[in-house]
Amino acid sequence: MQNFKLNEQDLLSNQDWTFPTFTAYGPGRFKEIGTFCKNFKITNPLIVIDSGSTKLPFISDLQNLLSDAKIKSNIYSNISPNPRDDEIDGGCKVFKEGNHDAIIAIGGGSAMDGGKAISLTVNSGIPLWDFEFLDKVPRDLKGTNPFPKLITIPTTAGTGAETEITAMVTDTKKGMKFCLWHPEARPCLALVDPELTLKLPANLTAWTGIDAMIHAIEGYSVPLFHPLCDGSALESLNLISKSLYLAVEEPDSLVARGGMIVGSYLGGVAFLKGLGLVHAISHMVGAEYNTHHGLTNAIILPAVMEYNLPDLEEKVKRMSEAMQFTDHSVDGFKNNLNQMLDRLKIPNGLNEIGVPEDCYERIAKKSMLDQAYGQNPKKATLDEVKELTLKSIKKAR
């Protein structure tokens, strides 16, 4: 057995850590939404959902629960799988016209990101793109309530987007997807109820589940000292490895759905530390071709793992242990991930989901402007990113 040394440089340096929002977890907790709104003095929330969710039962359930608690509400549903800046503008207009005092963002990552982006800009009056993660975020906030109260409710498992204010939005002028945030904005509540995911179809359960796993893998691989995130990453991998097949193959298993939604939540915490090249490439593919985020990531994963993992021997060992793999070597880890992708019927290349081969140079250049590019454990050159992108399009595993 190999012995790895304590990292003196990490343990003897100063660090700043943040941790996420108040969270209510448990099967059936959704029914408490009226009480939570009253506790937070919310009287007229705007419910933000994605355009594919209008007919899903939990949306009418939410309106009924609010109305039972004598709380007015309205719905904004013009959010696409990769939320666009013009859709955020539309949501702000509806928020103002309806005199809303809060946002309930319910659904997958797209609905939650849409709601979060609206909450950043609607009251503060600060233009949306001033919140871009890489830029210096605006500090001179006007008024006493620059950000309306925000409740996040995930219904996929998932993006972990419920844990923080960060929102991925497509800049329609640039055809690129960027991360928005503000350090003083954050949901007042993440309401995490596994019952909401019971009807998530098998393909979306697999795609969003793999996204959650990749958050843990990429977050854990970021070379920063953040033990809160790292502990979350390993527990996320532990839960996901025990729950994902079960959630796909026995969709009514509430225990598996619980394992997945908590695993996803912890994956969201893990990537407070950062992400990596899987997400950098995937964000730009999503911005141009509106592909599903989790599926796109799942296809890109093997190519990036082949590139990143050889230098991450100790981390691979710990991730393998967390996932109950018997082979703790780098090759063993890659093989286990590939077997998982096969079993979950993930296509072999992005060309199978409508991404043409000739876009690879453009996508690679854009990926290098994504914040996740700089967080990758290995500094990739443009040629290397081009190669990884082309491989992901043609044959990633």
Ligand X SMILES: NC(=O)c1ccc[n+]([C@@H]2O[C@H](COP(=O)([O-])OP(=O)(O)OC[C@H]3O[C@@H](n4cnc5c(N)ncnc54)[C@H](O)[C@@H]3O)[C@@H](O)[C@H]2O)c1
In angstroms, give the least distance from the CB of 297 to Fe ion.
Answer: 6
Give the helix, strand, coil percentages of the chain, each rounded to 5: 55, 10, 35
Query: Taking CB within 5 to 8 Å according to partner kind, which of Fe ion, ligand X, none is near residue 31?
Result: none
In angstroms, give the least distance from the CB of 160 to ligand X.
Answer: 6
Query: Taking CB within 5 to 8 Å according to partner kind, which of ligand X, Fe ion, none is near residue 349?
Result: none
Q: How far is CA 260 from the centre of its chain?
A: 14
Cα 286–289–294 angle (5° rounding)? 35
Q: Are 366 and 176 in contact (CB under 8 A)?
A: yes
**Binding segment for Fe ion among 65-73, 203-211, 244-252, 368-376 (CB under 5 A)?**
203-211
Query: Taking CB within 5 to 8 Å according to partner kind, which of Fe ion, ligand X, none is near residue 389?
Result: none
In angstroms, give the least distance from the CB of 152 to Fe ion.
Answer: 15
DSSP-derived 3-state class of residue 54: coil
**Binding segment for Fe ion among 81-89, 127-135, 149-157, 207-215 (CB under 5 A)?**
207-215
In angstroms, give the least distance from the CB of 116 to ligand X.
Answer: 7
Q: Are 87 and 114 in contact (CB under 8 A)?
A: yes
> What is the DSSP pairing of strand 176-180 with strand 167-171?
antiparallel
129 DSSP assignment: G
Query: Taking CB within 5 to 8 Å according to partner kind, which of Fe ion, ligand X, none is near residue 109?
Result: ligand X
Give CA–CA dist 212/220, Å, rounded: 12
Closest CB to Fe ion belongs to which residue?
A: 211
Residue 211 in the binding site for Fe ion (CB under 5 A): yes
In angstroms, give the least distance from the CB of 30 to ligand X.
Answer: 11
Interface residues with ligand X (CB under 6 A) are: 50, 52-53, 56, 81-82, 107-111, 113, 155-156, 158-161, 166-168, 196-197, 199-200, 204, 208, 211, 268, 293-294
Nearer to ligand X, 101 or 211 (CB): 211
- The single-letter code of the amino acid at 109 is G
In angstroms, give the least distance from the CB of 56 to ligand X.
Answer: 6
Query: Taking CB within 5 to 8 Å according to partner kind, which of ligand X, Fe ion, none is near residue 234?
Result: none
Q: Are 165 and 133 in contact (CB under 8 A)?
A: no
The structure tokens listed for 372 are 């996740």
Contacts of 110 (CB under 8 A, 6+ apart): 50, 79, 80, 81, 82, 83, 293
Q: Are 168 and 113 in contact (CB under 8 A)?
A: yes
Residue 218 in the binding site for Fe ion (CB under 5 A): no
Dihedral, 234, 237, 239, 243 alpha carbons, nearest 10: -170
Size of the site for Fe ion (CB under 5 A): 1
**Binding segment for Fe ion among 19-27, 51-59, 204-212, 356-364 (CB under 5 A)?**
204-212
In angstroms, give the least distance from the CB of 191 to ligand X.
Answer: 14
Q: Are 268 and 152 in contact (CB under 8 A)?
A: no
Cα 100–106–124 angle (5° rounding)? 40
Site for Fe ion in 88-117 (CB under 5 A): none
Query: Taking CB within 5 to 8 Å according to partner kind, which of ligand X, Fe ion, none is near residue 94?
Result: none
Give the closest residue to 100 by CA, choosing from 135, 126, 74: 74
In angstroms, give the least distance from the CB of 305 to ligand X.
Answer: 18
Nearer to ligand X, 284 or 330 (CB): 284
Q: How far is CA 359 from the centre of its chain?
A: 25
Nearer to ligand X, 187 or 302 (CB): 187
Query: Taking CB within 5 to 8 Å according to partner kind, which of Fe ion, ligand X, none is near residue 50?
Result: ligand X
Q: How far is CA 85 from CA 45, 104, 127, 175, 297, in A?
A: 21, 19, 11, 11, 22
Query: Taking CB within 5 to 8 Å according to partner kind, which of Fe ion, ligand X, none is near residue 233?
Result: none
Nearer to ligand X, 154 or 377 (CB): 154
136 DSSP assignment: P
- The single-letter code of the amino acid at 286 is G
Query: Taking CB within 5 to 8 Å according to partner kind, which of Fe ion, ligand X, none is near residue 96?
Result: none
The residues of the shown chain that bind Fe ion, judged by CB under 5 A, are: 211
